[in-house]
């Protein structure tokens, strides 16, 4: 039995895993929206992404309600609460990218945005695999591999962010485009950072419980 799973009550691990799946689904939707971007569909993109974010919020609220009445949680309350918040933050940061595209009325994608969308989707896919392994961390031989892979992908994101911002300042772009894409690229990097931060929290929680 996993350390995250109460004998007869709430399954904290399953809740974490559900949000991980929503993060992966959000990243896949972002990738589809950006790679086949149609400006006339921007409202649909925003609405569909918000549905995924709202579902993640519901999972977090449900977990927090359970934690508030839990007499003896399987691990420290602080660890459960922190992980729940950071998992939700991953979905929030992915949604924020679509909101920024909408806010700045973007009508055409830059090539760097396509690269970022692929990187975010790949990272969230690994992140979901990590959460699927988390319940059996004492036996799993893949958890550390996934954590390292997420760190590696985030490092690629750092370089892509640097190169993307530099290209904005070396290309001839309008002041509006310069501002808009700087903010959007920052948001894209934030999504990768959120995955890495949460993976680091999982790593720390594992260390405390072994």
pLDDT digits (tens, 9 = 90+) for 126-148: 999 999 998 887 778 899 999 99
Name the band, by pLDDT with cuts 50, 70 and 90, for residue 76. low
**How many Å apart are CA 203 and CA 174, to the nearest integer?**
43
Tell me which of 1.10.287.890, 2.130.10.30, 1.20.58.220, 3.40.605.10 is the CATH number of domain 12-208. Answer: 1.20.58.220
Q: What is the DSSP string of 41-86?
A: GHHHHHHHHHHHHHHHHHHHHHHHHHHHH-SS-SS-HHHHHHHHHH
User: Would you give the distance in Å from CA 78 to the centre of its chain?
Assistant: 20
pTM of the model: 0.91
Query: What pLDDT shows up at residue 5?
Result: 44
What residues contact residue 200 under an 8 Å CB cut-off, 6+ apart? 147
| Percentage of the chain lying above the pLDDT 70 cut | 90
Give tens-digit pLDDT for 174-205.
999 999 999 999 999 999 999 999 999 999 98
| pLDDT in the model for residue 70 | 64
Say how far apart CA 155 and CA 197 lie, in whole Å: 13
What is the DSSP secondary structure assignment for residue 11, as one 8-state letter?
A: B
């Amino acid at each position: 039995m996993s350390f995250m799973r109460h004998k007869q009550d709430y399954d904290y691990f399953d809740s974490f895993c559900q949000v991980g799946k929503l993060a992966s689904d959000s990243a896949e939707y972002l990738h589809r929206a950006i790679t086949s971007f149609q400006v006339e569909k921007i409202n649909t993109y925003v609405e569909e992404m918000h549905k995924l974010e709202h579902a993640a919020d519901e999972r977090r609220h449900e977990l927090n309600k359970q934690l508030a009445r839990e007499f003896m949680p399987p691990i420290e309350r602080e660890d459960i609460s922190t992980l729940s918040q950071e998992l939700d933050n991953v979905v929030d940061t992915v949604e924020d990218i679509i909101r920024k595209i909408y806010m700045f009325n973007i009508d055409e994608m830059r090539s760097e945005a396509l690269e970022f969308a692929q990187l975010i989707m790949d990272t969230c896919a690994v992140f979901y695999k990590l959460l699927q392994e988390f319940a059996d961390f004492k036996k799993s031989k893949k958890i550390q591999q996934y954590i390292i892979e997420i760190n590696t992908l985030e490092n690629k994101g750092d370089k892509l962010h640097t190169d993307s911002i530099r290209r904005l300042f070396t290309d001839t772009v309008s002041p509006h485009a310069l501002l808009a894409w700087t903010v959007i690229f920052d948001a894209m990097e934030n999504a990768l950072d959120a995955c890495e931060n949460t993976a680091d929290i999982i790593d720390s929680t594992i260390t405390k419980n072994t």
